[in-house]
């Protein structure tokens, strides 16, 4: 049952005989306020989470068909119906009708799991917890029940749990890598989607990273995050991306010694072609995809081309790190005029640097735009009057920041990248403040600037906070800015020609410009 009344869902596969029972409104939408239905007077045959049904975890994850019967005033149309764990998806009866007579039957297979089994073929499975089974190839984990269940009961006040939202599924690839090691804990803590948003983390790894992935899942579990309702790990994107509402695609092969950039485009492109196909097949129809693995713009293009049933607009290449780096460089400039010094003294900080666009590719041709940017509402060009510094030192420092960091740190930025992924997601799920915008690598079809269509190009965006965005129209260009934009556009068009075999355009023809480099390459 749920906050909104007794629950139902869709079609039925195999099932046992129907049994008579009752259902009632009871507890939170996720069963979070479950107590003992017996002591509450509902009895054992009432569909609400009880100690008996919980059965030390053995009942969790089971699927039941449930239909509302003999209550013409209260039953919703469309019977019979099915309970779809872990979250109810529809109602079978009117809200607040008290106890309604129902019939239920245990389903032997859940439709969503059946599709996973079909993909894998028959594979021996071992029970891990509740109804979660584990195969050698993929493991579905759930946080230890007593801890989460009791923590919810003891710590969460009625007011708090009432406002908890429906669970969202977040898939993360490269989950055993450095960036994920920072990001996953931010996601689980509620820092990204908010303190009332329960999440399921679905972690994609590979044979090579599987043990590490198990370690990551253990660390997440041991962190006792109340919002983290499920951690699942696997190596099959068709399984891991099932119902994903966010897909954070971080895993990619790093460029090794002697490797051409074209090789990298091809190797990583294949990863993103496969993942695009998997998203297309099994993810939520409105999944938001954030491609981080490099070369991220062209990987995002490959991904969206392989997911023709998903909106191309939902695919992003992460250029938020570059935007953050540009803001940092502007504020760190030693040539601050007195206006900026005053702003700093008055406690004005990065939030007062606004309208910073990164145009183009996440590479050394990217264009950090100081023409449209503002500091404390004043044009950057007025605050920092040294145009030569802006055009040369500032621009280059942003373009090559990743490389300098690798030289010093011995590996590419991970913590600041994770922070920028958080920023990028939050920019899509919170309304953009008036007078500001954010950068994201998005699909260029229909762009208002005259940038070539059919590539993924970083541009200025605004969001109403609903996960979607619009491109900002009120931007100005000068010769310097436009010339630089054309250069990064040429690079992306060349990258696109290199991966024609992966985007469905036919043969690849690779003529990358000489200076084509990732930010981290020198
Ligand atoms: N857009 C941006 O702003 C930034 C992008 N990046 C990019 O993000 C990506 C991940 O960085 P980071 O987490 O630090 O990298 P790590 O090397 O720590 O992890 C990368 C993960 O990629 C996966 N991977 C996929 N295919 C291969 C392969 N063929 N060979 C080796 N590993 C592979 C591995 O996981 P598994 O074995 O499970 O597949 C590995 O855990 C890189 O492509 C990096 O260039 C980094 C910083 C900024
Ligand atoms: O170049 C890399 O691999 C790392 C990277 O993207 C960055 O630091 O911006």
158 shares a domain with 99: no
Q: Is 209 in the pocket of ligand 1 (CB under 6 A)?
A: yes
> Of 94, 92, 90, which Cα lies nearest the Cα of 102?
92
pLDDT class for 154, splitting at 50, 70, 90?
very low
Residue 394 has pLDDT above 50, yes or no: yes
pLDDT class for 118, splitting at 50, 70, 90?
very low
Question: CATH number for the domain including 240?
Answer: 3.40.50.720
Which ipTM score applies to this complex? 0.98
232 shares a domain with 95: no
302 shares a domain with 440: no
pLDDT tens digits, 232-253: 999 999 999 999 999 999 999 9
Q: Is 402 in the pocket of ligand 2 (CB under 6 A)?
A: yes
- How far does CA 116 lie from the centroid of its chain? 21
Strands 367-369 and 138-141: what pairing? Answer: unpaired
377 shares a domain with 255: no
- How far does CA 390 lie from the centroid of its chain? 34
Note the pLDDT of residue 10: 31
Residues marked as catalytic: 362
pLDDT tens digits, 8-28: 333 333 456 677 777 765 554
Note the pLDDT of residue 410: 86
126 shares a domain with 103: no
> Of 311, 243, 291, which Cα lies nearest the Cα of 468?
311
Counting the structural domains of the chain, the total is 3
**Ligand 2 center–CA 259 separation, angstroms:** 16
> Which atom of ligand 2 is found nearest the CA of 254?
3
Structural domain for 130, as ranges: 115-315
d(CA 454, CA 457): 9
In a domain, 78, yes or no: yes
Residue 82's DSSP bridge partners are: 65
Lowest mean pLDDT among 60-64, 150-154, 269-273: 150-154
Which of 287, 315, 343 corresponds to the end of one domain?
315
Which of 290, 315, 340 corresponds to the end of one domain?
315
Q: Is 250 in the pocket of ligand 1 (CB under 6 A)?
A: yes
List the residue whose alpha carbon is closest to atom 3 of ligand 2. Answer: 520
Query: 392 Cβ partners below 8 Å, 6+ apart?
Result: none
Residue 228's DSSP bridge partners are: 199
pLDDT tens digits, 187-226: 999 999 999 999 999 999 999 999 999 999 999 999 999 9
430 shares a domain with 394: yes
Neighbours of 439 (CB within 10 A): 27
CA distances from 129 to 57, 134, 511 (A): 7, 9, 53
In a domain, 515, yes or no: no
210 shares a domain with 152: yes
213 shares a domain with 166: yes
455 shares a domain with 438: yes
pLDDT > 70 in the chain, percent: 68
> Which atom of ligand 1 is found nearest the CA of 212?
38
288 shares a domain with 140: yes
Neighbours of 208 (CB within 10 A): 10
In a domain, 512, yes or no: no
* β strands within 288-356, DSSP E: 288-291, 315-317, 353-354
**Ligand 1 center–CA 177 separation, angstroms:** 6
Write down the residue that tokens 């109403």 correspond to: 464
In a domain, 2, yes or no: no
d(CA 231, CA 170): 10
In a domain, 517, yes or no: no
> Of 118, 86, 81, 111, which Cα lies nearest the Cα of 6?
81
Report the SS3 class of residue 278.
helix
Top pLDDT among 61 and 142 is at 61
pLDDT tens digits, 425-435: 999 999 999 99
In a domain, 431, yes or no: yes
* β strands within 154-266, DSSP E: 168-173, 199-204, 228-234, 246-249
Q: Is 174 in the pocket of ligand 1 (CB under 6 A)?
A: yes
pLDDT class for 84, splitting at 50, 70, 90?
very low
82 shares a domain with 128: no
Q: Is 321 in the pocket of ligand 2 (CB under 6 A)?
A: yes
List the residue whose alpha carbon is closest to atom 9 of ligand 1. Answer: 293
Give the DSSP H or E segment for 132: strand 132-134
In a domain, 516, yes or no: no
Omega of the bond prior to 80 within 30 degrees of 0, cis? Answer: yes
In a domain, 510, yes or no: no
Residue-averaged pLDDT of the chain = 80
- φ, ψ of residue 137 in degrees (nearest 5): -90, -35
Query: 233 Cβ partners below 8 Å, 6+ apart?
Result: 138, 139, 140, 141, 175, 202, 203, 204, 205, 210, 213, 214, 216, 217, 240
List the residue whose alpha carbon is closest to atom 2 of ligand 2. Answer: 520
Q: pTM (2 decimals)?
A: 0.75
Give the DSSP H or E segment for 299: helix 296-305
List the residue whose alpha carbon is closest to atom 25 of ligand 1. Answer: 252
For a substitution probing ligand 1, which of 208, 251, 278 has the most ligand atoms within 8 Å of its CB?
A: 251
Q: Is 360 in the pocket of ligand 2 (CB under 6 A)?
A: no
206 shares a domain with 142: yes
Residue 41 has pLDDT above 90, yes or no: no
Note the pLDDT of residue 265: 93
């Amino acid at each position: 049952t749920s906050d909104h009344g007794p629950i139902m869902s869709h079609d039925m596969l195999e099932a046992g005989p129907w049994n008579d029972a009752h259902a009632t409104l009871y507890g939170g939408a996720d069963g979070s306020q479950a107590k003992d239905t017996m002591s509450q007077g509902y009895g054992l045959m009432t569909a609400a989470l009880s100690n008996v049904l919980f059965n030390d975890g053995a009942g969790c994850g089971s699927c039941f068909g449930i239909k509302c019967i003999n209550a013409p005033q209260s039953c919703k149309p469309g019977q019979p119906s099915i309970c779809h764990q872990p979250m109810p998806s529809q109602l079978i009866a009117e809200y607040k009708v008290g106890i309604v007579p129902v019939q239920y039957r245990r389903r032997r297979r859940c439709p969503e799991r059946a599709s996973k089994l079909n993909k894998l073929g028959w594979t021996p499975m071992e029970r891990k917890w509740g109804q979660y089974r584990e195969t050698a190839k993929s493991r579905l984990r759930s946080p230890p029940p007593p801890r989460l269940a009791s923590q919810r009961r003891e710590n969460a006040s009625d007011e708090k749990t009432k406002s908890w939202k429906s669970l969202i599924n977040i898939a993360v690839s490269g989950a055993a890598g450095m960036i994920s090691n920072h990001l996953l804990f931010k996601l689980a803590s509620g820092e990204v989607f908010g303190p009332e948003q329960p999440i399921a983390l679905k972690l994609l790894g590979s044979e090579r990273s599987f043990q590490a992935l198990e370690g990551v899942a253990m660390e997440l579990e041991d962190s006792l995050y109340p919002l983290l309702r499920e951690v699942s790990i696997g190596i099959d994107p068709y399984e891991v991306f099932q119902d994903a509402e966010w897909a954070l695609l971080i895993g990619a092969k790093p460029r090794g010694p002697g490797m051409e950039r074209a090789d990298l485009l091809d190797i990583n492109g294949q990863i993103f072609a496969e993942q695009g196909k998997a998203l297309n097949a099994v993810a939520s129809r409105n999944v938001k995809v954030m491609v981080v693995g490099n070369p991220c713009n062209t990987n995002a293009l490959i991904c969206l081309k392989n997911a023709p049933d998903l909106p191309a607009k939902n695919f992003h290449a992460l250029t938020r790190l570059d935007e953050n780096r540009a803001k940092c460089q502007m504020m760190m400039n030693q040539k601050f005029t007195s206006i900026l010094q005053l702003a700093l003294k008055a406690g004005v900080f990065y939030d007062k640097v606004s309208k910073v666009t990164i145009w183009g590719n996440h590479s050394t041709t990217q264009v950090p735009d100081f023409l449209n940017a503002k500091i404390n509402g004043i044009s950057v060009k007025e605050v920092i009057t040294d145009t030569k510094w802006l055009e040369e030192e500032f621009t280059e420092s942003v373009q090559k920041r990743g490389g300098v960091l690798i030289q010093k740190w011995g590996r590419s930025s991970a913590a600041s990248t994770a922070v920028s992924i958080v920023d990028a997601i939050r920019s899509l799920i919170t309304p953009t403040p008036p007078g500001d915008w954010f950068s994201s690598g998005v699909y260029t079809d229909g762009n208002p600037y005259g940038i070539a269509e059919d590539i993924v190009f970083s541009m200025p965006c605004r969001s109403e906070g609903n996960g979607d965005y619009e491109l900002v129209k009120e931007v100005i260009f000068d010769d310097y800015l436009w010339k630089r934009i054309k250069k990064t556009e040429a690079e992306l068009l060349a990258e696109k020609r290199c991966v024609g075999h992966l985007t469905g355009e036919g043969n690849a023809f690779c003529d990358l410009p000489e200076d084509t480099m990732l930010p981290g390459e020198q």
